[in-house]
Structure 1
Amino acid sequence: METKEKIRKIVSEKGLNSVMNDTKWLELQSSVGKLSFPPPYIDKLVFEDKTFEEVQ
């Protein structure tokens, strides 16, 4: 099974949804890159089974 298929399966099983389109993500990335400080953030990967509390 190729990576895209694996990701689609996981997304479907977990009931995940996108909240922003590609244009909005690119705008956000560009804006964050212009900040004078590194903003705090948490990576949550599709392949991980960790809860939000576990990745903090």
Structure 2
Amino acid sequence: MKLDLSPTSWGRVIAVTAAGTAFFIAVAFFVRSSLLELLDRPGRRHGRGVFGAGE
């Protein structure tokens, strides 16, 4: 099966959407982990509660 990546194909739309979604999820995880490392202990506990990762 060959994926049609011509400018007017739905395959290209789906591929770019999936790649963009994966990219921005990865960026969000990176930013979240970087910000939590900068916080002091009480701030980390609050941040984990806000971001959904319990202790």
Interval of TM-score (by shorter of Structure 1 and Structure 2): 0.3 to 0.5
TM-score, with length taken from structure 2? 0.34
Normalized per residue, the structure richer in helix is 2
TM-score, with length taken from structure 1? 0.34
**Which one scores higher on RCO, CA 8 angstroms, separation ≥ 6?**
1
Larger radius of gyration: 2
